[in-house]
Structure 1
Amino acid sequence: MSTYLPVSGWCYMTNDLMKEIIRVAVEAGERIMKIYEGDIRIEHKEDSSPLTEADRRSHEHIVSELKKITPEIPVLSEESADISWQKRKSWGKYWLVDPLDGTKEFIKKNGEFTVNIALIKENALAAGVVVIPAQKLIYRADINNGAFRRNYDGAETKLTADNNLNTDNLKIVGSRSHQSELMQTFVSNFENYEIVAAGSSLKFCLLAEGKADVYPRFGPTSEWDTAAGQCVLECAGGVVLDNAGNKLQYNTKDSVLNPYFIGMREYNEAVLSWFKALN
């Protein structure tokens, strides 16, 4: 049974609270995997994006548990995103949740889907947890302690993304099957590059681990898609910048859609300028 945990301090993330958030995300992942291992029934939202029973079950579990653990902190989840801006703009802090990021990957059964829970304070990231249920991997980060990775039953490794970024041999996170015209123009700036294919918020985690260098995003995303992964990358030493070169922020406007953005495991002025030229 969950216990109410009072929170304090700038990032509001005590060790006990982090353990509880990881527990909630892992349990949500276990609910997802029960459906993943069977026949997946697919519905569609009004915007034609896919929805499954796994999305719903994960959402219900996370929201229910967060309300028990921190009843004073509101929750915004992809599956309950109809909270008005009039209400949201008064929030000083809140949980931002994507209960199943990468529903298309879930449907394809390629294992590259995640559970994302982030804590936002004053429009900025304070903490984030990314769980990859099919791989039994946990990424967790907070602004006071940094970013870490571990298997469900393994020891933690601290993540450091800020090695020298080599533009002569760049690993760029992108789509397996299709590169947009903007993406093709972006990669044409580099003589030698490799496309690293990945789904969901796993893209940010690859940068945080140093397995990829740059993640340019020229397609639509919502704030719950990026928050937890961005937190992991930034707490590992990387950056996520919008199309004006500013840090990606949260809950600053009516729409929850993000602008185009670029993640880099190390800030690079040339890479940023090539990205900004396409916006």
Structure 2
Amino acid sequence: MAISNTIAAAASDDIAVLALFERLALAAGRVVLDIFHSDITVSRKDDSSPVTEADRRAEKIILEGLRDALPGIACVAEEECSEGIVPRQLGDTFLLIDPLDGTKEFINRCTDFTVNIALIRGGAPEIGVVFAPVSRKLYLGRPGFAEVVDVSEDFQVVGRRRIIVREGFEPLTIVASRSHRTPETDAYILKFRTAEIVSVGSSLKFCLIAAAEADLYPRFGRTMEWDTAAGDAVLRAAGGTTEMVDGTPLVYGKRGRPDEPDFANPTFIASGRVEGLPRET
């Protein structure tokens, strides 16, 4: 049965929306993992970034499920956007989909890639799922509730555990991109001279903070909203924050800006409960 726009946007139905996201992420993750264990054919998009059959097939599964259950809610999906398929209007509530975050890791046979689905309300990521098919970890978040789910080899849920960010303590654990480190990111990390640095690909960086396994994720460099929305939703649900360097929350649905592509993120800092973060204006 389809979930109406009104119900989907209401807090009372967040559980149903999250369950839908969970089901679709697991289905897409199964396809992604099958392709990962076979021959991977890589092609190039117009911006020269790589794309695989896994990206396209996973996105198809997710979009068909979302459009069936949530008709009328705009879907912004990475591969559709790369082909020029973008909703004319987003509305206050819309969906962001990255069917395979960490395509470079996927191609290089690293295991950090994820499937990501998020619902945005009023510019904030409020419901999200991040599924890591190789480790079979599924991270879920809705307002006031976040959990990590263990998934069996046959893609059945075998355990659930609530998660919440931790109080930062010295030395902080900082997660950073494996494939997209920049000099600006490294300069920011150097401000925490005793910190432990963990290199992780994809949206798992948000999830490690949400699960109290890390404290900080600074990102100085280009990301797109579909890269970050689901992990950001999980982090905020677990009590964390994602803010721009001036301390204001990162918002979603950014379009029509001069000299910036639609849906591109500025520099941001994702964190658990860490006091006294250095800020820039």
TM-score w.r.t. length of structure 1: 0.89
Aligned AA (1:157): R
Matches within 5 A, 1:106-125: 106-125=106-125
In structure 2, distance between residues paired with 1:236 and 1:174: 20
Could you say which residue in structure 1 is the equivalent of 2:167?
164
Kindly indicate whether residue 273 of structure 2 is the aligned counterpart of residue 266 of structure 1.
yes
State the shift of 1:38 in Å.
Answer: 0.5
Could you say which residue in structure 1 is the equivalent of 2:259?
none
- Sort the Cα spacing of 1:266 and 1:109 in 2 relative to 1 into closer, same or farther, 3 A: same
In structure 2, distance between residues paired with 1:267 and 1:190: 12
Could you say which residue in structure 1 is the equivalent of 2:3?
5
Kindly indicate whether residue 248 of structure 2 is the aligned counterpart of residue 246 of structure 1.
yes
In structure 2, distance between residues paired with 1:206 and 1:249: 21
State the shift of 1:14 in Å.
Answer: 3.7
Contact 1:216/1:262 (CA < 8 Å) preserved in 2? Answer: yes
State the shift of 1:148 in Å.
Answer: 0.7
In structure 1, distance between residues paired with 2:85 and 2:278: 34
Contact 2:9/2:93 (CA < 8 Å) preserved in 1? Answer: no
Could you say which residue in structure 1 is the equivalent of 2:147?
148
* Structure 2 residue ranges without an equivalent (≥5): 152-156, 257-261
TM-score w.r.t. length of structure 2: 0.89
Deviations 1:114-166 (A, max 9, x none): 111001112122211111111111111111x41111112222111110x3212
Q: Which runs of 4+ in 1 moved over 6 A?
A: none
Contact 2:96/2:120 (CA < 8 Å) preserved in 1? Answer: yes
SS of residue in 1 equivalent to 2:158: coil
Deviations 1:13-68 (A, max 9, x none): 44333222211110001111111001101111111111000000001111111111
Contact 1:97/1:118 (CA < 8 Å) preserved in 2? Answer: yes
- Sort the Cα spacing of 1:84 and 1:52 in 2 relative to 1 into closer, same or farther, 3 A: closer
Matches within 5 A, 1:21-32: 21-32=21-32
In structure 1, distance between residues paired with 2:17 and 2:181: 40
SS of residue in 1 equivalent to 2:129: strand
Aligned length: 267
In structure 2, distance between residues paired with 1:185 and 1:67: 43
SS of residue in 1 equivalent to 2:159: coil
- Sort the Cα spacing of 1:46 and 1:204 in 2 relative to 1 into closer, same or farther, 3 A: same
- Sort the Cα spacing of 1:208 and 1:188 in 2 relative to 1 into closer, same or farther, 3 A: same
In structure 1, distance between residues paired with 2:70 and 2:180: 42
Deviations 1:78-132 (A, max 9, x none): 01123557x235x121111001100011111221111110011121222111111
Aligned AA (1:20): L
Aligned AA (2:159): A
